[in-house]
Amino acid sequence: MPSGAYILAIDQGTTSSRALVVDGDGEVLGIGQQPFTQHYPRPGYVEHNPEDIWETTLEAIATALAGAGVAPAELATIGIANQRETVLLWDRESGEPVSPAVVWQDRRTAAQCNDLRERGLEDVVRARTGLAIDPYFSGTKLAWLLDDTRGLRAAADAGVVAAGTIDSWLLWKLTGGKRHATDYTNASRTLLFNTATCTWDDDLLALLDVPASLLPEACPSRADFGVTDAGVLGAEIPIGGIAGDQQAALFGQAGFVNGVAKNTYGTGCFLLADIGPDRLTSQNRMLVSLSAGSEDGEPGYVIEGSVFVAGALVQWLRDELGIIRRSEDIEALARTVPDAGGVTIVPAFTGLGAPDWDPYARGAILGLTRGTTKAHIARAALEAIALASTELLQAVQADLPHQVVELRADGGAARNDLLMQMQADFAGITVVRPQNIETTALGAAYLAGIQSGIWANTDEVASLWQPEGVFEPRLGIFQRRDRLAEWRRAVGRTLDWARPE
């Protein structure tokens, strides 16, 4: 291992901030995690306090460093992964936030997005960004903040505030305001970035009335993002890698080869497969974004489908319904029944992502009888996660020129063996769980490590990936088909449920 080859990987997520210290062998030496509060000021609104994000990130870093027994000055580099579409604004002089962080789950711009679609702009936006017009993405959130917050648009026009996704906010804070930058993966999730030219798109900025002066410099995921301010972490440490959490997880899963897709089972589910250097247009309402980078440093692309509510469904069963005491208890409860007893859950709490893209859909529990128990509901919840992810995989398979033969799983819910077996059964594909499911943070570490010379190339980091659990499909093809058809009928009942008349 190279002397001093310690990497700090920051994984700033939707419900907690995490940090890992990784050595040159890819071993995790220390972990820190701090949860923070979610805010729901109105139905459909989801916000974070930016200062909570920053403070919990610092706490997670301190815990990880202490656990590893590594001083900040011993770190060779830092990599950052982050929740992607969440956006905020802050004062350039003080560094203080001037807006809440509007979270990727937030639906407040549904009407604005509907107006853009009715104006016939969907094809133009998709051609330039690879994205659907949906409240999920940062652009309409940013436009809403500028128009809704008194004085904010004037401040933007005067150049006294900056905007960005969470990676930009953390980079600004870590460098003491010296760098206002993002990477291609995060930029490509804003509805404002042209993924063919890798530049902010003037026409899209004009369409949403977002001043270009607000936005960060966009760089490849492996780049010189500056150094930390000595007053922040106690040393000047190079920051060599940034990627949105899902592209980082794909990189951490060594998913930069044909035939492999990854699915992250976290707050939501995000299924990605590498496309390579050739940009394509999805024919199945999937998303095409920029990847964390090819071997030669040129832009590459990924295809993606998103399930907005996955682990959040289990949290709902725990916190709001009280069916389970801890999230991990759901597997044991679900195993007490052989099936879901005819129950299907569609967890459209914040609308539906791919392939429906309906911000007005709402959740439903269907098929209830007097004999339905909490065990049936628990099993139906796990099935919902696997069934929704199966639809994503089928759509990705239809778009890609090559076949996906292996699905690599990560995220907290990937520890659930029953869920992994359901995924293999419904998708009819081998599901593999790696030894270390912290693949989002590891992806950030690998990017920064390659940039700093700890590893020479992607082949070296791919050799660090090791499988831990392999799940083969057991369900017959006709049973699989029938269950997917039941799922699709249930989803159809929820579409446009909350659309205003």
For 333-378, give the DSSP string. HHTTSSS-TT-EEE--BTBB-TTT-BTT---EEE---TT--HHHHH
The pair of three-digit structure tokens given for residue 257, joined into one six-digit string? 């080869």
Rounded CA separation 290/136 (Å) = 17
Rounded to 10 degrees, the C-alpha dihedral 307/312/314/318 comes to -160
DSSP category for residue 11: E
Rounded CA separation 309/29 (Å) = 31
R_g of the chain computed on alpha carbons: 22
User: Taking the CB of residue 115, how many other CB atoms lie within 10 A of it?
Assistant: 13
The pair of three-digit structure tokens given for residue 222, joined into one six-digit string? 């492996």
The pair of three-digit structure tokens given for residue 191, joined into one six-digit string? 């509805």
Contacts of 28 (CB under 8 A, 6+ apart): 20, 21, 22, 436, 438, 442
Question: Are 374 and 399 in contact, with CB atoms under 8 Å apart?
Answer: no
Rounded CA separation 421/36 (Å) = 31
Written in H, E and C, the secondary structure of 176-232 is: CCCCCEEEHHHHCCCCCEECCCCEECHHHHHHHCCCHHHCCEEECCECCCCECCHHH
Contacts of 383 (CB under 8 A, 6+ apart): 340, 344, 345, 422, 426, 483
DSSP category for residue 309: -
Q: What is the pLDDT of residue 20?
A: 96
Secondary structure (3-state) at 49: coil
Over the chain (501 residues), the average pLDDT of each successive run of 10 is: 75 95 94 95 94 97 97 97 96 94 94 94 94 94 93 91 97 96 96 95 96 95 95 96 95 89 92 90 91 74 92 94 95 96 94 88 95 97 97 93 92 94 96 92 95 92 93 94 94 86 64
| Residues 402-444 pLDDT 10s | 889 999 999 889 999 999 999 999 999 999 999 988 899 999 9
For 422-480, give the DSSP string. HHHHHHTSEEEEES---HHHHHHHHHHHHHHTSS-SHHHHHTT--EEEEE---S-HHHH
The full set of domains in the chain, from first to last, is 6-245 (3.30.420.40)
Q: What is the pLDDT of residue 297?
A: 60
Q: What is the pLDDT of residue 501?
A: 64
Among 61, 79, 111, 58, CA closest to 9: 79
User: Taking the CB of residue 122, how many other CB atoms lie within 10 A of it?
Assistant: 16
Pairing of strands 406-410, 344-346: unpaired
Rounded CA separation 8/58 (Å) = 12
Query: H or E segment at 169?
Result: helix 166-174
Pairing of strands 406-410, 430-434: parallel
Rounded CA separation 159/156 (Å) = 5
| Residues 5-39 pLDDT 10s | 899 999 999 999 999 999 999 999 999 999 999 99
User: What's phi and psi for 422, nearest 5 deg?
Assistant: -60, -40
